[in-house]
Structure 1
């Protein structure tokens, strides 16, 4: 324990008494083998019940990870009521079913109204989910409160509303800047695509869309931390929007490097790759052999999806690790506690890539082992520092309000580490 001296005070003013700070590295006591048994049972029951078992599966998963997560040597508890989880699942299922029925029967107005209603309810659904997860997590019998008002939740969602008018203006601009394509061009007739001005306009739209997505991410995390309350304390952080922009831009740059690297490799292997494809499917005429056309399109779709997954994996892992490190290094709980994250970005990216390859090679059966290894690396990189010691702080929070600090620590860990 190391005392924290007062700083910035005048020499004549009395210095406040130093408070002891205790450090508690977070711990995970679970194992991949034990979680595999939970996962395989959940998977089989979801398959047998055609997905109806999903709420029970999610509850069992949360209970496993929470009960094996130690904060200051005490496990978290997931106390979410199953009835609430089932009702939420049924509500979402009914909305999707209504949309599909309206779409199949050609009721375009109903589909439009359902989509608009869903867009309007997204902030409410997110806020309700966060309130549920905060209430459902306990630590030493104490609870956290998510105190954001609904108007604050909707105010934080303003970038979501900007996406529709943004793309409406974008499409109008493309229609004006891009030349019209002829409906049936002659065989020797040259056709022009998007002009350079149209391409620049499209790029601007993509950049603005990305900035809106980043802003939504920043607003949601800011609201979660700053509107979390326990006793008389509330969360705080020191991040600004540009901190998130820098992480996302670095992730985009890494993704472009992966794409360029794959393109350079494909140039070398073009002859062999396309030779095999031509040998397999080039001789078949789609007009006389429709099965070969379907098979070709299916293979192209699967290969394209796998390439997108693999090429984006390093960038996605980097963004997740860097964002995790950035956020947890700037979270504090009033003057009571703070966090420090020492997650190794490079090691996490390599772990994610290795896990992805093993999941693909095992047709998904390595997924529980991958999830446990990634969760353990993230969790055990975080250290909690409590001013005055946990026992004293918990006692003070109990006197101020039943259910204070406990879930502040619990859900502060649970919301971003488990999922």
Structure 2
């Protein structure tokens, strides 16, 4: 079982000449209007090129958000080579087309091989993506880097394989517990039966699956922090697995509460509408059909909207947990004051405006949410920024290290 170390890897090689701690709030200097120009060009070129502009759009977006993110009064830089992003995108498109071709032509063996290969390569893909993303990030001349070995990446990925084993066991268990099929006299077809033990097995499989997903998220985030560096300094990690479980449980509770509230409101509205229809059915005519169609579309939209507060709640809680409990060796730590309630309300407002504007408010929404996150974080550095950055650069130049590791940095534009 993968278990991250609580305080990082090796002892820090950094020499501190001062115990003075400086606080530097992070700032985002961009605006919705500026990003709208980047976004609309990306959208239009994406449409014209049938999606093949995607790697250029992603790079332009990353560069905009990075360059407007001030860390200790210095902006981040995104320096990923465009060629590598294009190659990765083309490879992904080719693999997707090959998989769809296998599915559409009924090549079950090829589909099974694709799924098996995807599961085996998933950790490799994740680790490669983290190396690329951090390696393309700069701050004050320092290059970020993910230093975990492939053995560590696969060790941290054990929940992926545990998840597969869980559902293999569930499938065989259902086959063992399934009773004989019953003949339906009206249709002449055999109808399968689902018994209480079978439902219990399915429920157990779902619970174990969620626990595996939570564990995978915890393993990846902790590995990303602990195996990243700035200069020769390792990341520092405090959260434990139970912290992640608590966030997920709270999210489930919040989601159930949202469903209950929205369900009660819908019951009142729909009940009144049906009463009105029952009294005026003969007069509605074509409008009855229109009402049914509108009601169906509204129902689908509500299914998406009802999960929005819970998704924003989890995002805010997880962001606060991460940024409030990580640091860089003994020289820096982050503190976060993001308020979950404020972030959830902002997400709901942005969602409403995005729907009303048919999606054109999306860039403004993204900037406002990003700004709230960034502006809630404060970097505390032991010693002056110039002094610390200078020593880290010298470590990088002398080969002692040339990277930073802070996991939440990846989430800044994610």
TM-score calculated relative to the size of structure 1: 0.86
Greater shift in the superposed pair: 27-36 or 108-117: 108-117
What SS is found at the alignment partner of 2:51?
coil
Shift of the 305–218 alpha-carbon distance from structure 1 to 2, 3 Å rule, reads farther
Q: Deviations along 1:145-189, whole A, 9 cap, x unmatched?
A: 2100011111111101112221122233334445566463539xx
Alignment partner of 1:323 is 2:318: yes
1:4 aligned partner? none
Tell me how far 1:232 sits from its aligned partner: 2.1
Alignment check: 8 A CA contact 1:69 1:76 kept: yes
Tell me the distance in 1 between the aligned counterparts of 2:52 and 2:277.
41
Tell me how far 1:134 sits from its aligned partner: 0.7
Q: How does 1:182-261 map to 2 (within 5 A)?
A: 182=182, 184-186=184-186, 194-261=194-261
Alignment check: 8 A CA contact 1:24 1:383 kept: yes
Q: How does 1:14-413 map to 2 (within 5 A)?
A: 19-177=19-177, 179=179, 182=182, 184-186=184-186, 194-273=194-273, 300=296, 302-402=297-397, 408=404, 412=407
Alignment check: 8 A CA contact 2:30 2:68 kept: yes
Tell me how far 1:277 sits from its aligned partner: 9.2
Q: Deviations along 1:194-237, whole A, 9 cap, x unmatched?
A: 44333332222211111011001100100110000122210011
What SS is found at the alignment partner of 1:383?
strand
What SS is found at the alignment partner of 2:404?
helix
Shift of the 67–199 alpha-carbon distance from structure 1 to 2, 3 Å rule, reads same
Tell me how far 1:140 sits from its aligned partner: 1.2
Structure 1: tracts of 5 or more residues without a match:
1-15, 285-291
Shift of the 382–406 alpha-carbon distance from structure 1 to 2, 3 Å rule, reads farther
Shift of the 173–272 alpha-carbon distance from structure 1 to 2, 3 Å rule, reads farther
Shift of the 265–56 alpha-carbon distance from structure 1 to 2, 3 Å rule, reads same
Shift of the 52–17 alpha-carbon distance from structure 1 to 2, 3 Å rule, reads closer
Tell me the distance in 1 between the aligned counterparts of 2:199 and 2:375.
46
Alignment check: 8 A CA contact 1:144 1:404 kept: no
Tell me the distance in 2 between the aligned counterparts of 1:116 and 1:162.
14
Tell me the distance in 2 between the aligned counterparts of 1:298 and 1:171.
39
What SS is found at the alignment partner of 1:24?
strand
Shift of the 17–63 alpha-carbon distance from structure 1 to 2, 3 Å rule, reads closer
User: Larger relative contact order (C-alpha < 8 A, sep ≥ 6)?
Assistant: 2
What SS is found at the alignment partner of 2:236?
strand
Alignment check: 8 A CA contact 1:143 1:405 kept: no
Tell me the distance in 2 between the aligned counterparts of 1:407 and 1:31.
30
Tell me the distance in 2 between the aligned counterparts of 1:55 and 1:276.
53
Q: Deviations along 1:315-337, whole A, 9 cap, x unmatched?
A: 11111101110111110100110
Alignment check: 8 A CA contact 1:139 1:406 kept: no
Tell me the distance in 2 between the aligned counterparts of 1:175 and 1:48.
50
Alignment check: 8 A CA contact 1:331 1:338 kept: yes
Alignment check: 8 A CA contact 2:319 2:408 kept: no
